[in-house]
Amino acid sequence: MKALAEDLGRSQAEAYFCDIGSGILEINETLRGLRRWARPELHLSGIVCFPSVFTKVYHMPYGVSLIISPFNFPVLLSLGVLTASIAAGNTAIIKVSSKSPACSAALRELVGSCFPREYVAVVEGGHNVADLCLAERVDKIFYTGSPRIGVHVMEAAARNLIPVSLELGGQTGNWCIVRKDADLRDAARKIAFFKLCNSGQICININQVAVASEAADEFIAELATAFRRQIGENAVENPEYPRLISPDAYKKCAEEAELYRKRIVFGGIGDPDALRYAPTIIYPVTADEDIVRHELFNPLLPVVPFPDERVEDILDTIAGREHGLALYLFTKDLKWAERVMSCQQYGGGCVNEVCLHLMVKGVPFSGVGRSGMGAYHGKWGFMEFSHPSTVLYGSRHFNLPLREHPYSGGSNNLKFSLLKLFER
């Protein structure tokens, strides 16, 4: 908690909810399920494999895994991934982020006190150290971060044909759609909480809100009220409000806000010394503007109005861009919401809620396209860090000559008829 406060300005409650407690959930789910997940799968071989009766699928570890973790959730996205790796039987190298040095030092101390270095090792350093790790002939790479660096990781892995799992933020950001029939106060409350969390530095956070123009004014008023209630009139002066990770991140956020200064309807203030920038509502913004075409990773929140009857146009816009890591819908029309969620391409998401899909046991967390590949959490993490090996157990008796030469002569017709019968 001390390290998270030092690196990110996290309060104890937020540090526990987002990083520590979530990591404990992941560990406990794995402890309860591992014996069942690791058990070899037994399958009947089928008549085409007669006289073999059964086949087994063993879940084998890859070997040495390289885990490259980010700064924004330095505990959860290191130890949570490590849980999956060692559950599947791998050894692990964790390359921690140089942007969160206090957490990196705490992780090095914690892991070093629990595991011998030849089993799990923590490596600190910048991009040059990460490249040295990528140059090694490891057996599995798991990277969490930006799509731009994800491309670099895949290029490095391709040289040695190393399998890669990527959990990325989504190149054009995650959308939230608020229909005119939504409970606007409830939506605003949840969106405000999420945008305040870690000062917006979350890969599944809402990048932009598309709100029905019929409800836009009321929604924005509710959202501003929710921000004030949760963090106070001036978030920058609230010690519970997390900070941006670096001066560069603050500068990028502040400069982008200035480009839209005339359309800021809430927030728009910051403290460069404290690296805090207030949650900022920018309205109105069109779906084609630059601010909604890239991942923000900060507390800026552009609001895109649309006529509610043209919601399909918004969905077409989202579908035509890079797939997000998350999608959020607020509406009372659950049939419409189910149709959307079952047809769009995205990593995961919620209807009338935010972010909690991340914490559901037994389900995968994953991206698609530019938001990632592979899945983990619970059994899905065990499967991601193991490869299936299929073994058929044969018999020394009752072997038929169907597959053997000769394939001509009098027996050919019988062989061919039996093969056609069996191979169905």
Residue type, 216: A
Selected catalytic residue, list 26, 103, 133, 167: 167
Cβ contact 351:337 at 8 Å? yes
| Number of residues assigned to the chain | 424
**Separation CA 367–CA 326 (nearest Å):** 8
- Contact in structure between 130 and 153 (CB atoms under 8 Å): no
* Short-list 10, 157, 152, 138, CA closest to 73: 10
DSSP code, position 238: -
DSSP 99: T
Alpha helices in 115-245 (DSSP H): 127-135, 147-158, 184-196, 216-231
Exposure string of 366-387, with b = 16+ CB inside 10 Å and e = fewer, is bbbbbbbbbbbbbbbbbbbbbb
Residue 329 forms beta bridges with which residues? Answer: 177, 351
Query: Tokens representing 204?
Result: 């599944």
Cis peptide before 247 (omega within 30 of 0): no
Residue 289 is classified by DSSP as: S
Closest-CA residue to 4 (of 238, 243, 254, 182): 243
Q: How far apart are CA 199 and CA 260, in angstroms?
A: 19
Catalytic residue among 133, 197, 203, 253: 203
Cβ atoms 325, 347 nearer than 8 A: yes
- Whether residue 167 lies in the annotated active site: yes
Half-sphere exposure of 103 (CA within 13 A, CB side): 30
Question: Parallel, antiparallel, or unpaired: how do β-strands 300-306 and 206-212 relate?
Answer: parallel
Q: Is the peptide bond before 163 cis (omega within 30 degrees of 0)?
A: no
Give dist(CA 246, CA 303) in Å, integer. Answer: 26
Tokens of 45: 């071989």
Q: How far is CA 99 from CA 3, 6, 63, 208, 248, in A?
A: 12, 12, 28, 26, 11
**Residue positions annotated with a catalytic role:** 167, 203
